[in-house]
Structures are given as C-alpha cells and as structure tokens.
C-alpha cells in the first residue's frame, strides 16, 4: 500500500492555480483511472484503486497548503504506512515551469506545505515530487503569482511535463521510490528530460 498526497488549496477558487499543481496532477491521475475523490473522516479527500495489483490512495488535504501535515499524519496512522510509502507532490517556485525534481528526503525548501508535513510527521524522511512553476513575478507579488490560474496556452505547453509526472507517480505506486528513481534516470538519459534528480541535500 502506498499513498500519494498532493499539496494544494481546496475550492473552485484555487483550481488550476500554480500553487495547486499537486492537486492538478492527482486529478489527472484520478481521471485516467476513472476515480472519484470522496470525503474522509479526516481532513482530506481520497480516491483509491490499484495499478498492477499495487494498491494506492490519492490524498487531497482540505486544510489549505500551510496545514498539509495534518492530513499526512492522519493518512500514515490510518493506513499504517511508513514515511517512505507516502509521496508528496507539490509546486516549486525555485524550478522553471515544468521542470521536475525528485527528492528522497530533506528540508522544506521554503515551502510551507512541506514544512507542515515535516512538522506533523516529525520526520523529513519522505519522498517528494516537486513540479516547477517558475518565479516570474515582481518583488512582493509572490502570493498573487502562485494563486493565479494557468492560462490555456500555458497548460498546453505543460502537457508533456504533466504526462511525465504522472508516469513517475505510477512507478512510485507500483514499486516505491527506487522504481520511480530508476524510471526517472532512464527517461532523463534517453530523452534529456527537463528534469533533475537530487539527493537528500538537493545537490
């Protein structure tokens, strides 16, 4: 059993905003497997199924980005998962649009959602897939930038990056972190993907 937690804000107001890339990727995966998110007894919505006999749950917290750790802790306890069995999917201002970074563990990189998860799990030993949203904004305008919806042309340009991210998530579900990393490395070598793999320190 594995879980994939997307970081984002609930509600139609925030749909397709840069800060909701985590939710967007989970929605795409749910659509691919014809899944519907349902409310849980905790602070999140969930959808579950299996890929190649590998069971999984997709998790979308309803606590807003800054309190994502509440749902993460609940999921690990309810499903008796180890921290390495939950993949956190999030946006990253420090990466160019569509650029993907996989981290096996480590700090929050300045992201409040990751910070909350580390705090509530009392551990930074969980994998994360960080999807670049760029930082093309004026000083002091970060909030407006991350909460601004993607335009239709922007989404079209990101199609291939979204597909690659979904494939990485599927590999995590089937075989965990190692399988995801192997697929990532192979894809980068073969296609020179606009992505990068980092170790614990993010180097």
CA triplet 166, 88, 18: central angle to 5 degrees?
70
Which domains are present in the chain? 2-197 (3.40.50.1470)
Distance from CA of residue 178 to its chain's centroid? 17
> d(Cα 95, Cα 130) in Å, to the nearest integer?
8
Q: What is the pLDDT of residue 6?
A: 98
**Would you call 152 helix, strand, or coil by DSSP?**
helix
- Per-residue confidence at 194, pLDDT binned at 50, 70, 90? low
**Cα separation, 94 vs 151, whole angstroms:** 20
Q: What is the tens place of the pLDDT at every residue in 24-67?
A: 999 999 999 999 999 999 999 999 999 999 999 999 999 999 99
- Residue 191 banded pLDDT, cuts 50, 70, 90: low
pLDDT tens for residues 131-164?
A: 999 988 888 899 999 999 999 999 999 999 999 9
Catalytic residues: 19
């Amino acid at each position: 059993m594995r879980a994939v937690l997307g970081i984002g804000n609930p509600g139609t107001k925030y749909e397709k905003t840069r800060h909701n890339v985590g939710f967007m990727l989970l929605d795409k995966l749910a659509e691919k497997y014809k899944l519907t998110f349902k409310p849980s007894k905790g602070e999140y919505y969930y959808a579950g199924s299996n890929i190649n006999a590998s069971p999984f749950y997709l998790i979308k917290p309803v606590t807003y980005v800054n309190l994502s750790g509440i749902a993460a802790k609940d999921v690990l306890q309810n499903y008796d998962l180890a921290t390495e069995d939950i993949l956190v999917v999030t946006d990253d201002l420090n990466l160019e649009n569509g650029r993907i970074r996989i981290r096996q563990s480590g700090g929050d990189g300045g992201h409040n959602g990751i910070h909350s998860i580390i705090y509530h799990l009392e551990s930074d030993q969980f994998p994360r897939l960080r999807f670049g949203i760029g930082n093309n904004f004026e000083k002091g305008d970060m909030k407006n930038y991350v909460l601004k919806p993607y335009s239709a042309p922007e989404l079209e340009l990101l199609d291939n990056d979204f597909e690659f991210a979904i494939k990485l998530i599927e590999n995590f579900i089937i075989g965990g972190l190692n399988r995801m990393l192997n697929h990532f490395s192979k894809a980068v070598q073969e296609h020179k993907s606009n992505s990068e793999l980092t170790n614990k320190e993010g180097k």
